[in-house]
Copies of this chain bind each other. A is one copy, B any other.
Amino acid sequence: MRVAGLISGTSVDGIDVAVVDIGETIQVVAAKTVPYRAEVREAILSVSNTQTHTATIARLNFLLGELFAEAVRASGVPLETIELIGSHGQTIFHEGEPIEFLGRPIASTLQLGEAAVIAERTGIETIADFRPSDMAAGGKGAPLVPFLDYQLFRHPQRSRIALNIGGIANVTVLAVNSRPEDVLAFDTGPGNMILDVLAPPFDRDGELARAGRVNESLLAKLLADPYYHRDPPKSCGREQYGAEFVRQTGIDIATATELTARTIALAIERYPDTQDVIVSGGGTHNKYLMERLAALLKPRLATSAEFGIDPDAKEAILFALLAFETHQRRAGNLPSATGARKPAILGKIARP
């Protein structure tokens, strides 16, 4: 089945689209990022986890539906060959842990990109809103990517870790011949987020960090944060390594890059049997960071490209796969990763 996957990430750069053929294996047919116009990006940031007008959220939801539909066209794959679309949408709020709200414990999440618009404009059945189903089943709605890691990378003889370096870095631990319920996943700490604040859009190839000098005493102090030494499950707050962190610590780009590499290494060292670390996400473009990881880690380091998965398209591929699972009436969350009470069929189906 040919399925398109869509996501716009927390960096709000644009819409990632991947078209994949799903059968015995997952074959990527096309992958692309369609950048947002500046005013659309600003509008998204203006409603994300902040004061806004209800009208802006409603209008943006429909506008993003149009842009997501156009991103499917922009993939270059003829629409009539695509049978299904899975769209993550654009997260503008996420609170995986319940808080007290009007007298009840409520966890919640909100993604924009109206599925009814995507379905109508493309003529293709569209599944969206994957996270609420996991949260309704008691999960944190994240991470969802371990489901894809499990499908793609588990191995009968090799112990592997899938590492994604996005704003936050996270790992999926795939022991030899693991079953779904064995899969562990957690955030290791910062990914590109600190670098993004220090050198926007970020020190893409790492040359600024390479030329700088690590502040060893600051690094030691930051590495003492109990988070990095705590057992999983654990997850970072999305705001944890933002502008406020940079201001408070006075961190420089060389030290931030080293902190990223060292905290990833700390996480991976917990699993000394690991043979392969398979990296994806924007961080794979950071040559210096990848060199530091190669120096710090014992297992073989590879990017997901070696396995046929464009490191920048992994999340879009994930939502194509999750749509496919829902279409087959199969669950798409891994309770061991999200904390859900049970496997859940994810998403809501809109038909053209």
Contacts and interface: CB of A to CB of B under 8 A. Distances in A.
A52 B47 CA distance: 10
A66 B104 contact: yes
A133 interface: yes
A345 interface: yes
A75 B21 CA distance: 45
A278 to B, nearest CB: 31
Interface stretch (A106-114, A199-207, A223-231, A289-297): A106-114
A240 interface: no
A60 B109 CA distance: 10
B116 A58 contact: no
A248 interface: no
Nearest to A63: B106
Given A50-B54, A102-B43, A121 B108 contact: no
A114 B206 CA distance: 43
B53 A51 contact: yes
Q: Can you tell how many copies of this chain the complex includes?
A: 2
A238 interface: no
B62 A106 contact: yes
A12 interface: no
B132 A63 contact: no
Contacts of A77: none
Contacts of A261: none
Contact of A95 (B52, B59, B102, B135): B59
Given A49-B54, A120-B136, A133-B350, 19 more contacts: A39-B102, A39-B103, A51-B51, A51-B54, A55-B93, A58-B109, A59-B108, A61-B108, A62-B106, A62-B135, A63-B101, A63-B104, A63-B106, A65-B136, A115-B348, A117-B132, A348-B350, A349-B349, A349-B350
Q: Which 5 A-B pairs have the closest CB atoms?
A: A120-B136, A348-B348, A116-B132, A58-B110, A58-B108
7 contacts: A51-B52, A59-B95, A61-B108, A65-B136, A114-B136, A120-B136, A347-B350
